[in-house]
Amino acid sequence: MALTGVEIFKLLPKTNCKKCGQPTCLAFAMKLAQRQASLDQCPDVSAEAKQKLGEASAPPIRPIKLGTGDRAVKMGEETVLFRHEKKFVNPCALAVAMKDTASGADAQKLIDAVLGSEIDRVGQKLRIDAIAITNDSGDPGKFEAMAKLVAEKAPAVAVILSTTSPDAAEAALKHFSNKGAVLYGANASNLDAMAAWAKAAKATLGIAAASLDELSDLTEKAKAAGVEDMVIDSGARKAGEIIRDNTLIRRAAIKKNVKSVGYPVITFAMRDDNMLETLVASAAIAKYSSIVVLSSMEKWKDLALFSLRQNIYTDPQVPMQVEQKIYKIGEPGPEAPFMITTNFSLTYFIVSGEIENSKVPARLAVLDSEGLSVLTAWAAGKFTASKIAQFIKESGIEGELGGTKELIIPGYVAILSGSIEDKLEGWKITVGPREANGLPAFLKSRVA
């Protein structure tokens, strides 16, 4: 179980030397208890304390990196079961399976697709993070050949090598030494050899168990064999098994501090039915998997899964905000309607969505209101006549508009129309609908 700050303090040198960056040992102990500091920061800690504290202060789910360099993906380190409690920290990696029986041309196509999978979504770069090479042939030579091809053609992409053959593992791992690869396929019959090859290549060992009991047993054996970095698979394949095992693993790791399952989870979501695969992968993203392996990549599927991952891993305590600026919807001419709202992302999405629905090209000014919705922002003094007037003046929008300078404000702040008119000389202020769903009718009636 996790130690309290005071319990940790008793094990520290109590010299208040400040070398850790904290003013006192007690302050450092408190940081350790909150998992905001690492014991490595104390240069004088005793071996005994290190051993005791190391166990207790380690995050309940071990942090592990998949891949290296800019594209490396951090996994693990989660501390809660539900995203409303605290942010889920490390978004799960998405991997695509590549059979070692694939033709050279097909393999090249998949590599190109992975390399070209990056898209920009609300300011974040999202992509397929890894390739999972699977030893379908059972032939170490074929497995190695595919590994070599991937290592040469996509050197920056993280790799999961999936095989139960230590010979195949050894051959393929030669191409991924020190590359943050995962060697997946360690089971009861090959554990020692697989552990040895993973250690030699500084790879993460992927445990392939058939049950939670076996999983816990195998991770302990691997740990005894000197393996520290592992990703774990309980054998869950059906959606219900994934939800069950991932829930039990997350609970055991976080609430009971069970170390034998305190590792990131790898989930294989492959299905013949692509839409069903998308949903099984969705369940794995929402419920605690750290790597999800897919059978194929399609742009629509990637987009949906990237979006879900982004939604689930959003910080629930920070209101999502969009950038303050004037957004064009459609191709608005100089006389197109010009509206204003706040920068709470939900407000922006709903308002811009309804403007799109109206099919009337328009401009939408989004004022930085610190992520508050219209009424809340108005009540908090973040959406006021002077802020609106200042933003409009400084935006330079006047030059883009035609003869009539008209600003449409949300119906909820109708009360502001007079004072905005006073502050924006030459402008006409019009009160729009209170709710965004009134916008299509409102806009259509104006162009009719």
Partner 1 sequence: MPFTPPRESYSGKIFEETIGSGPKAITVGGENVLPFHSFEGATPHKPVIAFEVQDVPPEDWPEVVKEVYKGVSGDPVTWAKYCIEKLGAETIALRLVGTHPDRQNFSPDEAAETVRKMLAAIDVPLIILGSQHAEKDSSVLIKCAEAAKGTNSVLGKAQEANHKTIVAAAMANDLKLIAMSELDINLSKQLNILITQMGFDKAKLMTDPMSSALSYGLEYTYSVMERIKLAALAQNDPTLQPPILADVGMMVWKVKETQAPEADMPAWGSLKDRGIAWEAVTAASFLIAGAEVLIMRHPDSINAVKKFIAEMEV
The footprint of partner 1 (CB under 8 A) covers 82-84, 119, 121-122, 212-213, 215-217, 220, 238-241, 243-244, 247-248, 251-252, 255-256, 258, 260-261, 273-276, 278-280, 282-283, 286-287, 298-305, 307-308, 310-312, 314, 316, 345-346, 349-350, 353, 356-357, 437-438, 440-441
Helices (H), 227-273: 239-255
Measured from the CB atom, the residue of 83 and 148 that comes closer to partner 1 is: 83
Which of 71, 70, 79, 75 is closest to 229 using CA atoms? 75
Question: Which residues make Cβ contacts (< 8 Å) with residue 439, sequence separation at least 6?
Answer: 351, 354, 355, 357, 358, 432, 433
CB of 341 to partner 1, least distance (A): 15
Q: What is the Cα–Cα distance from 343 to 366, expressed in whole angstroms?
A: 5
Measured from the CB atom, the residue of 135 and 278 that comes closer to partner 1 is: 278
Q: Which two tokens stand for residue 352?
A: 């811009």
Measured from the CB atom, the residue of 225 and 397 that comes closer to partner 1 is: 225
Helices (H), 74-132: 104-115
CB of 293 to partner 1, least distance (A): 17
CB of 335 to partner 1, least distance (A): 23
CB of 216 to partner 1, least distance (A): 4
Measured from the CB atom, the residue of 176 and 344 that comes closer to partner 1 is: 344
CB of 328 to partner 1, least distance (A): 14
CB of 311 to partner 1, least distance (A): 4
Question: Which residues make Cβ contacts (< 8 Å) with residue 83, sequence separation at least 6?
Answer: 312, 313, 314, 316
CB of 173 to partner 1, least distance (A): 29
Which of 176, 78, 170, 166 is closest to 131 using CA atoms? 176
Measured from the CB atom, the residue of 162 and 278 that comes closer to partner 1 is: 278
Question: Which residues make Cβ contacts (< 8 Å) with residue 128, sequence separation at least 6?
Answer: 94, 95, 96, 113, 114, 117, 297, 302
Q: Which two tokens stand for residue 255?
A: 């609430």
CB of 16 to partner 1, least distance (A): 39
**Exposure class string for 278-290: b at 16+ Cβ within 10 A, else e:** bebbbbbbbbbbb
Whether residue 408 contacts residue 337, with contact meaning beta carbons closer than 8 Å, is answered with yes
CB of 234 to partner 1, least distance (A): 9
Measured from the CB atom, the residue of 173 and 254 that comes closer to partner 1 is: 254
Measured from the CB atom, the residue of 182 and 269 that comes closer to partner 1 is: 269
Q: What is the Cα–Cα distance from 217 to 194, expressed in whole angstroms?
A: 15
Burial class of 193 by CB neighbour count within 10 A (0 to 12, 13 to 18, 19+): middle
Measured from the CB atom, the residue of 159 and 377 that comes closer to partner 1 is: 377
Burial class of 330 by CB neighbour count within 10 A (0 to 12, 13 to 18, 19+): middle
Measured from the CB atom, the residue of 26 and 308 that comes closer to partner 1 is: 308
